[in-house]
């Protein structure tokens, strides 16, 4: 059993109500309105932009997919007058598990609405059963919608080839290590290897002319990305820094904003607590620091 699996098992044993107690830091609220209010505050107080995400994955019925799409259109209406907000969308939530064609149709139509509203849309990258589909969809839709972005996970061995497959698209890529646990025949298992691969990916994306969202909280790699940007003289309109809401990185965010950089936080919200708890459990399995914080809370309650 891998270290990650053990941690996943252990975090699964922490009661849901304690995870929920902790959620407010990492989840923008239990309604769209609260998530938008969090995004407004981030922008008005700190100059930080947001990408808003409705938590929830693997919708398996047409009705649930329609429900999710309805929420996405309402979100788009809500951010129409908020140029500091973009949206993130998940194929697993918008039809992939019902019928991949339905998912393609839903995201195609929704991207058209985002393009018309002038708001950015990023297709999140989920587990590896969706990688081929997500990238094929991205390659198909990107030429139609300049506002469209997606995500590449540097832990996957396939990612350098995926970067090559985007040549000429002027893609908008969120470059991250990836949150999903992937077996050793398909992915790096050590964080350092994932992050070295992240640096190579960022460099290649710049060299190929894409827009890069540097998505990490690791100070060493934020600094290295900044050094690379300075060395290559990459203009400010070709990249931004992204972090997750709730991860304590206030100082670096302030420093980046003061240096004139664009910083965007991922602001998730949940309409069902089960979705928020699942999101947090995944973060806890991936990050010992968040598990420690929740466990500290457990101890102080007992
Ligand atoms: P880590 O080594 O995991 O983190 C570096 C340090 O940051 C840790 O030591 C810790 O101090 C701190 N830290 C990190 N996370 C937390 C936390 N939750 N709580 C407290 N401290 C923490 N992954 C996907 O697979 N698909 C996606 O679509 C996707 N979208 C993302 C969008 C954004 C904006 C960001 C920032 C990340 C996204 N991720 C996504 C997750 C990403 O792949 C990583 O799992 C996550 O960012 C942690 O990796 P890291 O590079 O920060 O390194």
Contact between 166 and 139 (Cβ < 8 Å) = yes
Residue with CA nearest ligand 1 atom 5: 218
88 CB less than 6 Å from ligand 1? no
Q: Report how far ligand 1's centroid is from the alpha carbon of 218 (Å).
A: 8
In this structure, of 130-134, 165-169, 181-185, 281-285, the range with the lowest mean pLDDT score is 281-285
**More confident: 301 or 222:** 222
In whole angstroms, give the CA distance from residue 53 to residue 179. 16
Where do the structural domains in the chain lie, given as residue ranges? 28-269
Cα distances from 226 to residues 93, 192, 229, in angstroms, run 34, 18, 5
242 CB less than 6 Å from ligand 1? yes
Q: Which fold has domain 28-269?
A: TIM Barrel (3.20.20)
Mutate to test the pocket of ligand 1, among 27, 186, 215 (most ligand atoms within 8 A of CB): 215
Nearest atom within ligand 1 for CA of residue 217: 52
Reported as half-sphere exposure (CB side, CA atoms, 13 A), residue 117 has a value of 25
Q: Is 264 exposed, middle or buried (0-12, 13-18, 19+ CB in 10 A)?
A: buried
Mean pLDDT, the chain, rounded, equals 91
Identify each DSSP E strand in 109-256 by its residue range.
121-123, 148-153, 172-176, 211-215, 239-244
The 3-state DSSP class for residue 147 equals coil
Per-residue pLDDT tens digits for 44-78 = 999 999 999 998 878 999 999 999 999 999 999 99
pLDDT for residue 106: 98
Q: Residues 255-274: what's their mean pLDDT?
A: 93
Q: Report how far ligand 1's centroid is from the alpha carbon of 116 (Å).
A: 31
pLDDT for residue 1: 54
In whole angstroms, give the CA distance from residue 19 to residue 14. 7
- The answer to whether residue 270 scores a pLDDT higher than 90 is no
**More confident: 94 or 296:** 94
pLDDT for residue 282: 78
Q: Report how far ligand 1's centroid is from the alpha carbon of 294 (Å).
A: 17
Q: Report how far ligand 1's centroid is from the alpha carbon of 244 (Å).
A: 7
Q: Report how far ligand 1's centroid is from the alpha carbon of 281 (Å).
A: 13
- The answer to whether residue 188 scores a pLDDT higher than 70 is yes
Nearest atom within ligand 1 for CA of residue 283: 18
In this structure, of 25-29, 85-89, 226-230, 291-295, the range with the lowest mean pLDDT score is 291-295
Nearest atom within ligand 1 for CA of residue 122: 28
Q: DSSP readout, 265-296?
A: EEEEE-SSHHHHHHHHHHHHHH-HHHHHHHHH
pLDDT for residue 180: 93
Nearest atom within ligand 1 for CA of residue 213: 34
pLDDT for residue 62: 97
Per-residue pLDDT tens digits for 204-262 = 999 999 999 999 999 999 999 999 999 999 999 999 999 999 999 999 999 999 999 99
Q: Report how far ligand 1's centroid is from the alpha carbon of 146 (Å).
A: 26
Contact between 150 and 123 (Cβ < 8 Å) = yes
CA dihedral in degrees (56, 59, 63, 68; nearest 10)? 30
The partner residues of 187 in beta bridges, in order of sequence, read 156
Per-residue pLDDT tens digits for 107-138 = 999 999 999 999 999 999 999 999 999 999 99
């Amino acid at each position: 059993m891998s270290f990650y699996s053990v941690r996943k098992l252990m975090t699964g044993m922490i009661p849901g109500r304690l995870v929920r107690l902790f959620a407010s830091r990492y989840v923008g609220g239990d309604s769209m309105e609260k998530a938008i209010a969090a995004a407004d505050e981030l922008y008005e107080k700190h100059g930080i932009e947001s990408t808003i995400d409705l938590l929830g994955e693997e919708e398996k019925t047409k009705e649930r997919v329609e429900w999710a799409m309805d929420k996405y259109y309402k979100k788009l209406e809500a951010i129409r007058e908020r140029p500091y907000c973009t949206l993130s969308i998940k194929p697993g939530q918008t039809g992939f598990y019902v019928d991949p064609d339905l998912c393609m149709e839903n995201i195609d139509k929704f991207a058209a609405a985002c393009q018309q509203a002038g708001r950015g849309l990023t297709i999140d990258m989920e587990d590896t059963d969706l990688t081929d589909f997500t990238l094929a969809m991205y390659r198909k839709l990107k030429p139609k919608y300049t506002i469209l972005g997606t995500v590449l996970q540097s832990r996957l061995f396939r990612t350098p080839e995926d970067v090559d497959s985007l040549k000429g698209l002027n893609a908008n890529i969120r470059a991250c290590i990836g949150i999903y646990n992937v077996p050793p025949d398909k992915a790096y298992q050590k964080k350092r290897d994932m992050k070295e691969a992240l640096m190579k990916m960022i460099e290649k994306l710049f060299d190929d002319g894409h827009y890069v969202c540097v998505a990490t909280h690791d100070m060493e790699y934020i600094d290295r990305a900044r050094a690379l940007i300075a060395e290559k003289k990459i203009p400010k309109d070709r990249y931004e820094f992204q972090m997750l809401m709730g991860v304590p990185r206030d100082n670096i965010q302030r420093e980046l904003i003061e240096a004139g950089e664009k910083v965007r936080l991922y602001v998730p919200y949940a309409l069902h607590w089960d979705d928020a708890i699942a999101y947090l459990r995944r973060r806890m399995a991936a990050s010992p620091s968040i598990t420690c914080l929740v466990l500290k809370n457990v101890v102080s309650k007992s």
